[in-house]
Structure 1
Amino acid sequence: MSSYNLLSDPIKKYIRDKRWEELRPIQDAAIQRIISTDNNYILASRTASGKTEAAFLPILSKVNFSEIGIQVLYISPLIALINDQFYRIEELCKYLELPVTKWHGEANRTLKEKIIKEPSGIMLITPESLEAMFVNRPHHISHLFYNLKYVVIDEIHSFIGSGRGVQLKSILSRLQDLNSKKFNIVGLSATIGDYEEAKKFTGDVLQTKVLLDKTSKEIDTEFRYFENVGAELPLELLKNLYLETRNNKVLIFPNSRGRAEEVAVKLRKISEKVKGHTNYFSHHSSVDKEVREYVEYFAKSNNRQNFCISCTSTLELGIDIGSVDEVVQIDATNSIASLIQRVGRSGRQNGAKSNLFLYATDKWSLLQSLACWQLYKEKFIEPSEPMNFVYDILLHQALSITKGYSGIKLVDLIKHLNHNFAFNDIQISDIKEILNHLITIDFLEKLGDEVIIGVEGEKIVNNKDFYSAFTVEDNFKVVSAGNKIGEIPFTPQVKEDENILLAAKIWKIKFVDFKAKKIEVIPANDGRKPKFSGDGGIVHPEIRKKMLEIIFQEETFNELDQSSSDELEKMRREFSVFDLQNIESERLLMASEKKILFYTFTGTKINRTLKLLFDVIEIKNMLDDKASMFYITISKEEFLSKLNLIVSNVKFIDEIITNELEKNPDSLTVSKWGVYLPIKFQIRLMKQKFYDIKETQEFLLSINRIVENA
């Protein structure tokens, strides 16, 4: 039987009314499996391949919505994605006369109260809103979701390998506990590097299947190189970028919010000078929500007008902004997964091919971009980072559970946490130790055999930021004539008469209200990009190894323009002084009278681990992770001797790093909730988050030759 015939009559009518000529591959496969089995599924296919419908067509055909309670829960990483998907799902559900409810901080309060009184249909929600419901409306949680049949997790890759993902797993486990029967989970993604980690979100790996659509899309790619020696982008790059994008609908992805503002403002100024269009926007988390929504609406609804949106990861996920002709990446992404998401934004309609332009402003960025692109073509996506020591989220969930129950027996709290599949790797002895610590610091208060939220804990759980696993920036609101423009962090730049860029416009600061954390601005003619925080991200070892491979191979790349090709050849000449024979087991040491450069060509976390080891053994050094290179300021002979000493003691690296962190507890940088843990758990978190001891040991043991320059 064809998958179409398996669908319910109302859903068939929806397909006919949409005039679909055929179902897409992922839809065909999902309909066959979801309707006929009770497995969990991960639907993996490229962007714009119809994954949302692939999940909902069979679910809406299968579920009996006449039963009381929310039957289907859709979980999204972004409120904006919920608002976007709401219209697609609502249109589909009209054929079944089903209510679809958005539940987040910005959603309609009246509709929320209605669904509480008469729970039915489908709810769209974020993990943080679910957490808030557990804490503040525990009776509603059971009332709404006791009869849940399906949970759909959109962009599931964005949760993998993060504290937010662990929080979501914990919430799903808690939902499963209160449900009358087992519900099924369907995860959606275009960029999963580790399917086993995705399966763990279901709590039942064996009963979770992956449906993978390997259909690829044609991508026209071109690399362009404009060397940059200053803080701002070269004018020649901006001119070239303007000419390339002026007659198209374009998304530009710089790697920071400040750079996104610089690109949007400067392209707009160029366009004004030559009387081009004025549709230049910025889109990132510091631009006001209403401004971002206008940008999304403009892009989606203007079929005839060209536009250019300079954005960050806020437009990396699946928000529908209509047809995009080109995607531009300025300097290298830190991950292949991110590059895949971004290029997928182009050519989404009518089978059009994607157009990708990769601009680089220095040789290492060019090389990393090229390495990411080659690995993408080889179908490699970074696997997720291991998340075994999630003590910080366990601490947070202990407070959430206690608050939701308005007090709970300590033995029952331990059982809840030990049973929760998000914390499978945590020993029960560690759970007890963390809970006893919370009692000691008055986050929990013990009353007989029961615990309640303590005095210090009340300050935490009653804060609006309690519901999230990530740290919320402490920003100043930027306002012009009563209209909110966005938010920026307080830096020395924030002072009267300073000009800043925000929301693709230039503003002069007229007044800073420190008490209200508000900045009053007026339009201006010239200014500087605001300074935002950001650590640059983690680069996987395979990317760096591919960079080394590219340097020492003779292959030419058709995607490179002349300047990019010239720069790559220049790098190859620079490194031709090394007689490298094996990229797996050899690394490079460039020595001169003035300096020693040790090129590791390995991942960020291994480089961080090496740096700490170098510091401990008194190898004077500076790490340039972008180049995967250490500047060594001791003699070559002393460095090689000490490096051999590290290798000979490789099995003690864990102990060495633990001892070093114990000696410097003030240096621990863990997470939002990790700061409240006992020091030994903070150290375990730190080692997991910033270092990679196992991979560093393997890296050191794999290197059997240090190649010196001739």
Structure 2
Amino acid sequence: MSYDLLSEPIRKYVRDQRWEQLRPIQTAAITAILSTKNNYILASRTASGKTEAAFLPILSQVDFNQPGVQVLYISPLIALINDQFGRVEDLCKNLQVDVTKWHGEANRALKERLLKRPSGIVLITPESIEAMFVNKPYHVSQLFSNLQFVVIDEIHSFLGTDRGIQLKSLLSRLQHVNCSSFRTIGLSATIGDYQEAKKFTGNENGTKVLLDRTAKSVKASFKYFEASGSDLPLDLFKDLYLQTKDSNALIFPNSRGLAEEIAVKLKKISDRVKGHPNYFSHHSSVDKEVREYVEYFAKNNKREHFSISCTSTLELGIDIGAVDQVVQIDSTFSVSSLIQRVGRSGRKEGAESILQFYTTSPWELLRSLACWVLYQEGFIEPPAANDKPYDLLLHQALSITKGHSGISIADLSSELKRNFAFESIEQTEITELLGHLIKIDLLEKIRDEVIVGVTGEEIVNDRDFYSVFQKEENFKVVNGANRIGEIPFSPQINVDQNLLLAARIWKIRTIDEKAKKIEVIPASDGKKPVFFGGGGATHPRIWEKMLEILISKEDFEVLSKVCREELRQLRQEFEIFDLTDYQVDRPLIRYPMHFQFFSFTGTKINNTIKLLMDMAAINCQFSNLDSSFEIENSKGAVTQFAELTKHIAQIDNYLLQLLEDNPSLMEAYKWGKYLPVKYQVALIKNTRYDVDQTKRLLSNIKIITSRL
């Protein structure tokens, strides 16, 4: 029995919790972690006890009397660290083990105490590990040279991202600092590619997946309210108020602006009918203290209902207590995101998750339904592949050089090559990239060594160096001494305009561009507020499922009567095509002046098709709403369209010319702009386009023209 394998202090913890039994993922993890030397990925639904599944066996096995930090918990969010801190500390209460938060907002005195006497468990973000390597390399060895376990929470959030590559590099560097190899345990509810998750351990063959397939009961339903323009219809708000007024609800739209609009309008309705006042917004533009208050209120309030209109900031595992239902406004951009959101409700043992979709157009209805069907089928998007992250290698080269206060070129090259984050990058490419860094003064060569160059020092000494993701250029929004939040600035934001933020309407009094500050007061007029934020990429499988639904005759019980009618009408529009195979058939409508091609595929493939059309000088417009290209019906256009694949061989040259004509294209890539031009081309092609999948699609599709 797995319980008997635990140490007595941990068994006492389990007894004190009065658990009737361990959960499936906990039982499996305890046996596996305590009886083998493998790394593990623990994959199970939200609120299934993954944190305890990792820590119960780890705390039973580790000898915390040994010098140094023994367990490192890595989180994607500071808020998640703060949330998990009490949970981990509680797990350790019978062990007398120190638990320390280490991030930019953590207590300095506790950090200093840890440096004087390294021990116990540290909770940290990748950026704080990076800062330590750059500024306190001695402390890295002092703290982590005897590390036994690394726990990566929400590991799916790192997959296929620059931040994930940075984390892999940091873990590789930690392994080389360590006296013996530490074991890695990854935790997630939504992994689409377990092989990719295994790469975070540096030992794919020695990493096993423990998968709990226990399904959570979800009650889903769909409603439809036609929207005109960008505004959500009033009838939707009225129905949404009735849907959520007597429950604790999380409402997920697909932009920060809509999150604010929903929170404000629901509160107005509630005020008018004397309902509860607890309508909040929660997203990255809302001030941290305001977000923390919302989280605290949701977790600790036991008497009053609440509704939080939020974005992805509440997708991850921050504990906000009991949520009765989740509302999704139009489609998520991914099935993975839908899984995370569904998991936020029904977290009590035996409780059912409730998911309510509100859709505002036929295509949003179709995409929402496709995501729901794929969710039921168990599909999760695999992470985007980036086998050759040249820009991240450049960043880590600067980090390693700064941390060593100078290093021989041979040693730097060797350290980068042995780093498992960069195993696909050739030695000749590393040599070329290091030579380029010297050429542009990010590194300076002194005989056989390199130090950070004068230009490089400005970059490395900036606090922004520790993060690899591009931050928005935000302006602080303040009301007197109160900080409301921050928003991305644009020329459309002007004095005397109204602005939605933190679930209130504000009027802009002044804009200080130098100080990047917007002064606001509460608005009392009826001016229409400005919105901000939104967007996302969609996987090809979602669009394929949409076409599959259009072709099928299936009647979906989750749809309301109005939804069924909208789906029927959309299907009727496509009955003019003889579509039988959703994988290869693609509709095309011929009009007198143009024709419309429906690609029914993902964002990166559509980007590539549009690029090929530009290369072929085909005049076209793309619509993301229905994944269609409106193509000018000029002489030879049909023939050119059919021969698009012949331009694939010239994509690199075309992108090279685009970069020469418009160097600002690289501004979207934080570290890519320092690469040689040919590597910039490779970076753009890899992150924005999917050449192989596009070639496969265009080579295999069967164009079905309308029967009109």
Normalising to structure 2: TM-score of the pair?
Answer: 0.98
What's the counterpart of residue 695 of structure 2?
Answer: 697
Q: In 2, Cα distance between the equivalents of 1:384 and 1:671?
A: 19
1:677 aligns with 2:675: yes
Q: What letter is aligned with 1:131?
A: E
Asked if 2 retains the 8 angstrom alpha-carbon contact of 1:591 and 1:709, the reply is no
Asked if 1 retains the 8 angstrom alpha-carbon contact of 2:257 and 2:533, the reply is no
Q: In 2, Cα distance between the equivalents of 1:172 and 1:182?
A: 11
Q: What letter is aligned with 2:654?
A: E
Q: In 1, Cα distance between the equivalents of 2:480 and 2:541?
A: 50
In the TM superposition, residue 703 of structure 1 has moved relative to its aligned partner by 1.1
**1:425 aligns to what SS in structure 2?**
coil
Asked if 2 retains the 8 angstrom alpha-carbon contact of 1:29 and 1:211, the reply is yes
Q: Structure 1: any 5+ residue segments left out of the alignment?
A: none
What's the counterpart of residue 10 of structure 2?
Answer: 11
What's the counterpart of residue 609 of structure 1?
Answer: 608
Identity of aligned residues (%): 60
Asked if 1 retains the 8 angstrom alpha-carbon contact of 2:497 and 2:530, the reply is no
In the TM superposition, residue 592 of structure 1 has moved relative to its aligned partner by 2.0
In the TM superposition, residue 101 of structure 1 has moved relative to its aligned partner by 0.2
In the TM superposition, residue 552 of structure 1 has moved relative to its aligned partner by 1.1
Q: In 2, Cα distance between the equivalents of 1:164 and 1:596?
A: 42
Asked if 2 retains the 8 angstrom alpha-carbon contact of 1:76 and 1:155, the reply is yes
User: Judging changes above 3 Å, is the alpha-carbon distance between structure 1 residues 657 and 230 closer, same or farther for their aligned structure 2 residues?
Assistant: same
CA deviations 1:60-93 (Å, max 9, x no partner) are 0011111010000000000000000001001111
Q: In 1, Cα distance between the equivalents of 2:215 and 2:354?
A: 14
Pairing of 1:229-248 with structure 2 (within 5 A): 229-248=228-247
Q: In 2, Cα distance between the equivalents of 1:163 and 1:493?
A: 31
**2:205 aligns to what SS in structure 1?**
helix
Q: In 1, Cα distance between the equivalents of 2:528 and 2:344?
A: 29
What's the counterpart of residue 539 of structure 2?
Answer: 540
**1:265 aligns to what SS in structure 2?**
helix
In the TM superposition, residue 594 of structure 1 has moved relative to its aligned partner by 4.2
Asked if 2 retains the 8 angstrom alpha-carbon contact of 1:502 and 1:530, the reply is no
CA deviations 1:71-123 (Å, max 9, x no partner) are 00000000000000001001111111100000000000000000000010000
What's the counterpart of residue 638 of structure 2?
Answer: 640
Q: What letter is aligned with 2:699?
A: L
Pairing of 1:81-480 with structure 2 (within 5 A): 81-480=80-479
Q: In 2, Cα distance between the equivalents of 1:578 and 1:447?
A: 69
Q: In 1, Cα distance between the equivalents of 2:533 and 2:441?
A: 32
Q: What letter is aligned with 2:693?
A: E
What's the counterpart of residue 565 of structure 2?
Answer: 566
CA deviations 1:371-421 (Å, max 9, x no partner) are 011111111111111111200100000000011111111111000100100
CA deviations 1:582-620 (Å, max 9, x no partner) are 222211101122431100111111111011111111211
Asked if 2 retains the 8 angstrom alpha-carbon contact of 1:586 and 1:707, the reply is no
Q: What letter is aligned with 2:657?
A: K
Asked if 1 retains the 8 angstrom alpha-carbon contact of 2:579 and 2:704, the reply is no
What's the counterpart of residue 34 of structure 1?
Answer: 33
In the TM superposition, residue 304 of structure 1 has moved relative to its aligned partner by 1.8
The one of 651, 654, 663 equivalent to 2:657 is 663
Q: In 2, Cα distance between the equivalents of 1:18 and 1:399?
A: 48
**2:222 aligns to what SS in structure 1?**
strand
Q: In 2, Cα distance between the equivalents of 1:530 and 1:152?
A: 42
Asked if 1 retains the 8 angstrom alpha-carbon contact of 2:68 and 2:145, the reply is yes
CA deviations 1:155-210 (Å, max 9, x no partner) are 00000000000000000000000000000000000000000000000000000000
Q: In 2, Cα distance between the equivalents of 1:532 and 1:694?
A: 34
Q: In 1, Cα distance between the equivalents of 2:516 and 2:537?
A: 32
Q: In 2, Cα distance between the equivalents of 1:275 and 1:705?
A: 57
Asked if 1 retains the 8 angstrom alpha-carbon contact of 2:578 and 2:704, the reply is no
CA deviations 1:556-582 (Å, max 9, x no partner) are 001111221111011011111111122
Q: What letter is aligned with 1:561?
A: S
Asked if 2 retains the 8 angstrom alpha-carbon contact of 1:502 and 1:529, the reply is no
Q: In 2, Cα distance between the equivalents of 1:57 and 1:610?
A: 51
What's the counterpart of residue 484 of structure 1?
Answer: 483
Q: In 2, Cα distance between the equivalents of 1:533 and 1:446?
A: 44
**2:636 aligns to what SS in structure 1?**
helix
Q: What letter is aligned with 2:8?
A: D
Q: In 1, Cα distance between the equivalents of 2:361 and 2:671?
A: 38
Asked if 1 retains the 8 angstrom alpha-carbon contact of 2:253 and 2:311, the reply is yes
CA deviations 1:344-371 (Å, max 9, x no partner) are 0000012200000111111111111100
The one of 685, 688, 691 equivalent to 2:686 is 688
Alignment length (residue pairs): 703
Q: In 1, Cα distance between the equivalents of 2:136 and 2:506?
A: 43
Asked if 2 retains the 8 angstrom alpha-carbon contact of 1:43 and 1:212, the reply is yes
1:618 aligns with 2:617: yes
**2:471 aligns to what SS in structure 1?**
coil
Asked if 1 retains the 8 angstrom alpha-carbon contact of 2:218 and 2:354, the reply is yes
**2:507 aligns to what SS in structure 1?**
strand
In the TM superposition, residue 533 of structure 1 has moved relative to its aligned partner by 4.5
Per mean C-alpha deviation after superposition, the further-off stretch among 601-610 and 590-599 is: 590-599
CA deviations 1:34-72 (Å, max 9, x no partner) are 011110000000000000000000000011111010000
In the TM superposition, residue 528 of structure 1 has moved relative to its aligned partner by 4.5
In the TM superposition, residue 273 of structure 1 has moved relative to its aligned partner by 0.7
**1:396 aligns to what SS in structure 2?**
helix
**2:622 aligns to what SS in structure 1?**
strand
User: Judging changes above 3 Å, is the alpha-carbon distance between structure 1 residues 533 and 278 closer, same or farther for their aligned structure 2 residues?
Assistant: closer
Asked if 2 retains the 8 angstrom alpha-carbon contact of 1:45 and 1:51, the reply is yes
Asked if 2 retains the 8 angstrom alpha-carbon contact of 1:249 and 1:323, the reply is yes
- Give the RMSD, CA atoms, in angstroms: 1.2
Q: In 1, Cα distance between the equivalents of 2:452 and 2:651?
A: 35
Per mean C-alpha deviation after superposition, the further-off stretch among 517-526 and 245-254 is: 517-526
Q: What letter is aligned with 1:135?
A: V
Q: In 2, Cα distance between the equivalents of 1:457 and 1:209?
A: 41
In the TM superposition, residue 248 of structure 1 has moved relative to its aligned partner by 0.5
Q: In 2, Cα distance between the equivalents of 1:25 and 1:231?
A: 45
User: Judging changes above 3 Å, is the alpha-carbon distance between structure 1 residues 616 and 87 closer, same or farther for their aligned structure 2 residues?
Assistant: same
What's the counterpart of residue 56 of structure 1?
Answer: 55
Q: What letter is aligned with 1:218?
A: S
What's the counterpart of residue 555 of structure 1?
Answer: 554
In the TM superposition, residue 152 of structure 1 has moved relative to its aligned partner by 0.2
Q: In 1, Cα distance between the equivalents of 2:636 and 2:17?
A: 72
In the TM superposition, residue 705 of structure 1 has moved relative to its aligned partner by 3.9
In the TM superposition, residue 527 of structure 1 has moved relative to its aligned partner by 5.2
User: Judging changes above 3 Å, is the alpha-carbon distance between structure 1 residues 530 and 139 closer, same or farther for their aligned structure 2 residues?
Assistant: farther
Q: In 1, Cα distance between the equivalents of 2:651 and 2:365?
A: 34
Asked if 2 retains the 8 angstrom alpha-carbon contact of 1:327 and 1:356, the reply is yes
Q: In 2, Cα distance between the equivalents of 1:70 and 1:395?
A: 29
User: Judging changes above 3 Å, is the alpha-carbon distance between structure 1 residues 529 and 190 closer, same or farther for their aligned structure 2 residues?
Assistant: farther
Q: In 1, Cα distance between the equivalents of 2:264 and 2:686?
A: 40
Q: In 1, Cα distance between the equivalents of 2:481 and 2:504?
A: 16
Q: In 1, Cα distance between the equivalents of 2:234 and 2:593?
A: 34
